[in-house]
Amino acid sequence: MSASEARHLLEVRYSLEPSATELAAKRRTERDIAAMKAAADNLLPVTRDWGEEAIGAHRAFHRSIYVASHNDVMVKLLDDLWDKSDRYRRIGLELPAGAKPRTIDQNQHHQILELVIAGDGIAAADLVRTHVRNSLGAEVTGALENQEFGYFPFAEHFA
């Protein structure tokens, strides 16, 4: 694990997930909408208290969106990306902010869902970009980058 890998994963997610979301808004079926709504109903705040359960629900929600893109190559790439990125999210639970509910994330998830259902792919993709920029993965990336320069006070979590 490294700051460089975390940054690269974040950059790929920032590029790929908005595109998948925009496609989902164009291609989603009634079955996809039902799956996205069910995944949204299972969302939990990503905090230390909810831990793995919240990370799993968060991942399932995002996956329900990008599966609705009906682009098998994109789905496989994003699945692989999430496999590699989840370990960084787990580190994020140990950061000082890891104890606080990420209510902005929760609200954005529901807004993304509404935009996809409404077929507004451009607005949904823009919101996903904002969501990724402010994500737990972005926080961890920043923390790891600071650690490399000697500024991160929780270095023992990353040894």
For 40-67, the pLDDT digits (tens) are: 999 987 777 777 888 899 899 999 999 9
Give me the residue label for tokens 């968060």: 58
- Of residues 75, 74, 40, 84, the one with CA closest to residue 58: 40
Q: Which residues contact 41 (CB under 8 A, 6 or more apart)?
A: none
Out of 24-28, 66-70, 106-110, 128-132, pick the least confident.
106-110
> What distance in Å separates the CA atoms of residue 115 and residue 121, rounded to the nearest whole number?
7
pTM: 0.84
> What distance in Å separates the CA atoms of residue 44 and residue 33, rounded to the nearest whole number?
19
- Provide φ and ψ at 110, rounded to 5°: -70, -35
Q: Which residues contact 7 (CB under 8 A, 6 or more apart)?
A: 141, 145
How wide is the angle at C-alpha 106 spanned by C-alphas 80 and 144, nearest 5°?
55
Whether the CB-CB separation of 12 and 81 falls below 8 Å is answered with yes
Residue 90 is encoded by which pair of tokens? Answer: 């787990």
User: If you average pLDDT over residues 112-137, what whole number do you get?
Assistant: 93
